[in-house]
Structure 1
Amino acid sequence: MIRNASVAALLAVIFPTSAAPAQEVVELPAQDRALEADFVEVYSVAMPKSDDPEPESPFGDFADFTKELQLAFNSAGELLVFEKGLRPQTGRIVVFGVDGAVAREFGRMGWERGDFRAPVNFGVLSDGRSVVKDREHSAFLVYAPDGAYERMVRFPRPSGGMLTGMVPGLAGLAERVAAGRDGAFVYRTVLSDMDMDIDEQTFSVQTLNTGPTGIVERVGLEGNRVTVDTALRAWRPSEGEATSIGVQMNPDITQLSEEEMAFADMSSLLSMDRAQTAWLFPPPFAFGVLPDNGLAYIDSTTWEVKLVDADGRLNRIVRRPLTPTPVTEEMRAEIGTRIREAQSAALDGIEELMPSDAAAVMDGLLAGLTDQVNPEFFPEVPVLSGLGVGWDGALWVVRTGDPLSMFESESDLDATIIPGGIGGLSAPAGGPIDIVGADDTYAGTLPAGTKLPDAFGPDGLAAWVTIDADLSKTIVVRRIPAALRLP
């Protein structure tokens, strides 16, 4: 069974103190207590398809596949929906009142003061202000509760002449942003540390990737420039094992016409000089912000949730005696077959979604990458795959679903073009959800197939984005029963 480093060793590295107190370990029962997912719908908002002649939605009539939605509640129970997409009209925040009607909207893509340039994440602070992380601005944009633009809080200045967007850490890739409960800061994960070296003479790109860091940073927003502290450093299997991918482009590629590009042998124009190791079923990493500004997170193959206080000290560990599933040879063979089938389907679909010249380049590049990426299995499938924290601090702990169900839908194809991508191909969600109260009381387990809310709100409100068979999206707000809202 793969476990983290011992708690003592972990504390010595991450939280050095002269006399660290012993951490409380809470052991929960092994037997499941069945709960019903009796969520009462409050309202829903349909997102139309682009071919809808009369869309009845605040989100307009443009193609919804270009949108990424991020949801967050404020303390008044209003739901803020951040639209991040590929088109100018998708950069905005729509606010729904408790009755489901549009209360206001703000933000836009543009070049005026307070406009988005390249928004990547957002959060809602406890005082109602909204914060948008914008990569091109190299800053967080802060908006008042009514949507009025307030100010910009810039990232630290880069050093060594690097482009700000490529600075490891704050301006690097972010998995998510979560607002702190005191309104003064946000938490954000560092997905990977990257640096890129481009040689325009040889048309080569060399990327150094140290893999997922497991770092959560606390970002202060009080001054003109952000302050950054490490809130926690989770255990990650790839830490310290830098891998590199080099892509070589033949200069002749620039001389090809669109027709020649479509029929070119891309293997002669694109090549890789090193391969990346992609892990299948690595230990998960997810976190949530607690009401006292502490953090809860998972980083193990076992059922184990760690809780740190607002100062970053690990103060207790909550466990259930559930064991990981060993990866068998039969499982390796079956999943390997499904990965190859998913890769083939994804690559075949590129020509339908892109111009022929771009499709040819991507087809050749991705084919080369998938041939040389070396997937490796962890010896066991983790017990957990996700974590949510309710408004009042309850833990929603998502257990892993059936590993063999991973590649059965189109939504899985993107993740399997390059197995594991940067972070490894994680174990599938879709398993039961264990609910643990803020007082460490085990409430019970919701059945497999229950989806973790995309946002938790006050008074039991929660929001989900659902995707229908035709890929249309609906935002559904429901109320969680009082029995599941433990103190």
Structure 2
Amino acid sequence: MPVGKKLARSGRSRTFAMAAAGSVLFTSGALNAQEIIDLPGEDRWIEPRFEEIYRIGSPSGEGWEQFGNVRKVAFDGAGHLYVFDWQPLHIHVVDGSGGLRRTLGGQGDGPGEIRRASSFTVMPDGRVVVGDTGYLAYQIFDANGDYVRRVRMTPGDRPTTLWEFTPDPAGNALLSAVGSQMLLFQYSDDLPTHTTRPIERIDLAGDVAVKDTVAVGWLPLGVEWLTSGLREPNVFGPRMLMGVLQDGTIAFSDSSAYAIKVVPPGAGVQRILRRPLQPVRVTNRMKEAEKDRQRQEPVPPGQERLMREHIDGLVFSEAVSIVRELGVSWDGQIWVQRRGEGPLDDDGPIDVLTVDGRYLGSYRAGATMPDAFGPDRLVAYIEEDELGVQTVVVKRVLGL
């Protein structure tokens, strides 16, 4: 979808707003002002154009390709793909044609082995960081795959909560959003009480990780699960979604509305990208349908009473959130997946925006959000067939 004067005339308007005590003050001269960019309300459809580069994973392939459970994939700055196979706790590094370069990790207690983990990430220079919940530490490997050291998640044996994390391109650190995908929860009476969903920079320079808040997301009322672990997020409520661009700019979504917040390095929220799409109000019919759906789910023996209590105690959001997934490309695009037809349908259209506030168009409902973005417009998808066989497909985006 070409971008030029035609899109520039399509109704974008710019105002400035400053958040204050739960209200919004519109002003052009405010300190710490937020630029609000209103994008077009009408969808401009993009026809998918992708060039397949390679695919890996086969029951009859080489041993490393016989995947057990691929949890995550990621690219480094050279375009090498990293595949985290959770079953053997291996991370396979794949070259630009799909050939194996090396494998690191593996389950165990020795140097360079992983006790227990469900996520990892890759720095642009090829260093690998594994969130090892068995050691309660971040394990760091160099660009050659050699083990370097561990950085403890907390001082001593203090309980912790681990959320999904991504590299901070600016340095030896990670970025993580409280309220995103939870990787580990350890209950403690003295865990901090959250009144927001902060985005934290996790510095890995020392022996113990040091956290610093770089942005603040909205925390809906009634989600004590962030600290107690005893309550789930509101059904149909807003997810905390975050992506980090290669210059360190953060894009995140934290509300039921369509409002993508942009945070440049070293600053708070400076820009909000909005589309005039309205969240659907949650009805009693939706609530009962969701309870009925959960009642049909298989229940482990002896857990029937607990499941009934869980369903009876469900807390519902007032509105069905619009944004379901968010990804960022290495060339500065923000991909925003909206909800589909039903309140639980995550496969709606995918909007493609730029960080400076241009709307490039939308892929129609049914398009798949990439599991990883890489340099030179590379994307990777984790696919699974009807027999549960996983394949990782690498493509190049064309036409944007």
* Shared fold (TM-score, shorter chain, > 0.5): yes
Work out the CA distance in 1 between the residues paired with 2:105 and 2:213.
30
Residue 43 (str. 1) matches residue 58 (str. 2): no
Query: Secondary structure of the residue that 1:59 maps to in structure 2?
Result: helix
List runs of 5+ in structure 1 lacking aligned partners. Answer: 13-18, 49-54, 198-205, 247-274, 351-362, 407-427
Work out the CA distance in 1 between the residues paired with 2:347 and 2:362.
13
Q: What's the counterpart of residue 9 of structure 1?
A: 21
Counterpart of 1:284 (choices 224, 239, 243) is 239
Give, in angstroms, the shift of residue 277 of structure 1. Answer: 6.5
Which is further off, 234-243 or 146-155? 234-243
User: Structure 1 residues 209 and 438, CA, compared in 2 at 3 Å: closer, same or farther?
Assistant: closer
1:170-218 superposed Cα distances (whole Å, 9 cap, x missing partner): xx132x1111112421112334796547xxxxxxxx9999799623221
Structure 2 counterparts to residues 242-261 of structure 1, below 5 A: none
1:257-284 superposed Cα distances (whole Å, 9 cap, x missing partner): xxxxxxxxxxxxxxxxxx8466210112
Give the conservation status (yes or no) of the 8 Å contact 2:225–2:233. Answer: no
Counterpart of 1:300 (choices 246, 255, 273) is 255
Counterpart of 2:358 (choices 423, 441, 444) is 441
User: Structure 1 residues 120 and 189, CA, compared in 2 at 3 Å: closer, same or farther?
Assistant: farther
One-letter code aligned to 2:36: V
Give, in angstroms, the shift of residue 375 of structure 1. Answer: 1.3
Structure 2 counterparts to residues 386-425 of structure 1, below 5 A: 386-403=325-342, 406=344
Counterpart of 1:190 (choices 171, 178, 194) is 178
User: Structure 1 residues 26 and 388, CA, compared in 2 at 3 Å: closer, same or farther?
Assistant: same
Give, in angstroms, the shift of residue 128 of structure 1. Answer: 1.6
Q: What's the counterpart of residue 454 of structure 1?
A: 371
Q: What's the counterpart of residue 120 of structure 1?
A: 118
Counterpart of 2:295 (choices 314, 335, 340) is 340
Work out the CA distance in 2 between the residues paired with 1:128 and 1:429.
32
Q: What's the counterpart of residue 412 of structure 1?
A: none
Query: Secondary structure of the residue that 1:123 maps to in structure 2?
Result: strand
User: Structure 1 residues 211 and 93, CA, compared in 2 at 3 Å: closer, same or farther?
Assistant: same
One-letter code aligned to 1:429: D
User: Structure 1 residues 100 and 394, CA, compared in 2 at 3 Å: closer, same or farther?
Assistant: same
Work out the CA distance in 1 between the residues paired with 2:49 and 2:178.
36
Query: Secondary structure of the residue that 1:336 maps to in structure 2?
Result: helix
Query: Secondary structure of the residue that 1:335 maps to in structure 2?
Result: helix
Residue 383 (str. 1) matches residue 338 (str. 2): no
Work out the CA distance in 2 between the residues paired with 1:241 and 1:141.
30
One-letter code aligned to 2:115: R
One-letter code aligned to 1:230: T
Query: Secondary structure of the residue that 2:295 maps to in structure 1?
Result: helix
Q: What's the counterpart of residue 139 of structure 2?
A: 141
Q: What's the counterpart of residue 266 of structure 1?
A: none
Query: Secondary structure of the residue that 2:292 maps to in structure 1?
Result: helix
Give, in angstroms, the shift of residue 129 of structure 1. Answer: 0.8
Q: What's the counterpart of residue 368 of structure 1?
A: 306
Give, in angstroms, the shift of residue 436 of structure 1. Answer: 0.5
Give the count of matched residue pairs: 375
Work out the CA distance in 2 between the residues paired with 1:281 and 1:207.
29
Q: What's the counterpart of residue 177 of structure 1?
A: 165
Counterpart of 2:389 (choices 460, 468, 472) is 472
Work out the CA distance in 2 between the residues paired with 1:240 and 1:153.
30
Q: What's the counterpart of residue 202 of structure 2?
A: 219
Work out the CA distance in 2 between the residues paired with 1:277 and 1:474.
32
1:138-177 superposed Cα distances (whole Å, 9 cap, x missing partner): 221111111011222223314xxxx44x23xxxx132x11
Work out the CA distance in 2 between the residues paired with 1:76 and 1:243.
37
Give the conservation status (yes or no) of the 8 Å contact 1:194–1:207. Answer: no
User: Structure 1 residues 367 and 37, CA, compared in 2 at 3 Å: closer, same or farther?
Assistant: farther
Work out the CA distance in 2 between the residues paired with 1:370 and 1:392.
48
Give, in angstroms, the shift of residue 442 of structure 1. Answer: 0.7
Work out the CA distance in 2 between the residues paired with 1:302 and 1:382.
6
Query: Secondary structure of the residue that 2:296 maps to in structure 1?
Result: helix
Work out the CA distance in 2 between the residues paired with 1:69 and 1:437.
28
Work out the CA distance in 2 between the residues paired with 1:478 and 1:469.
22
Question: Higher helix share goes to which structure?
Answer: 1
Work out the CA distance in 2 between the residues paired with 1:71 and 1:212.
32
Query: Secondary structure of the residue that 1:401 maps to in structure 2?
Result: coil
Give the conservation status (yes or no) of the 8 Å contact 1:79–1:96. Answer: yes
User: Structure 1 residues 61 and 391, CA, compared in 2 at 3 Å: closer, same or farther?
Assistant: closer
User: Structure 1 residues 37 and 328, CA, compared in 2 at 3 Å: closer, same or farther?
Assistant: same
Counterpart of 1:59 (choices 64, 70, 84) is 64
1:96-120 superposed Cα distances (whole Å, 9 cap, x missing partner): 1101111111112112222111223
Q: Name the % identity.
A: 33
Give the conservation status (yes or no) of the 8 Å contact 2:223–2:234. Answer: no
Counterpart of 1:98 (choices 82, 87, 96) is 96
TM-score (norm 1): 0.70
User: Structure 1 residues 33 and 125, CA, compared in 2 at 3 Å: closer, same or farther?
Assistant: same
Work out the CA distance in 2 between the residues paired with 1:156 and 1:220.
12
One-letter code aligned to 2:42: Q
User: Structure 1 residues 173 and 142, CA, compared in 2 at 3 Å: closer, same or farther?
Assistant: closer
Give, in angstroms, the shift of residue 243 of structure 1. Answer: 9.2
Q: What's the counterpart of residue 317 of structure 1?
A: 272
User: Structure 1 residues 194 and 149, CA, compared in 2 at 3 Å: closer, same or farther?
Assistant: closer
Q: What's the counterpart of residue 27 of structure 2?
A: none
Give the conservation status (yes or no) of the 8 Å contact 1:133–1:139. Answer: yes
Query: Secondary structure of the residue that 1:402 maps to in structure 2?
Result: coil
Give the conservation status (yes or no) of the 8 Å contact 1:211–1:242. Answer: no
User: Structure 1 residues 458 and 366, CA, compared in 2 at 3 Å: closer, same or farther?
Assistant: farther
Residue 108 (str. 1) matches residue 106 (str. 2): yes
Which is further off, 235-244 or 318-327? 235-244
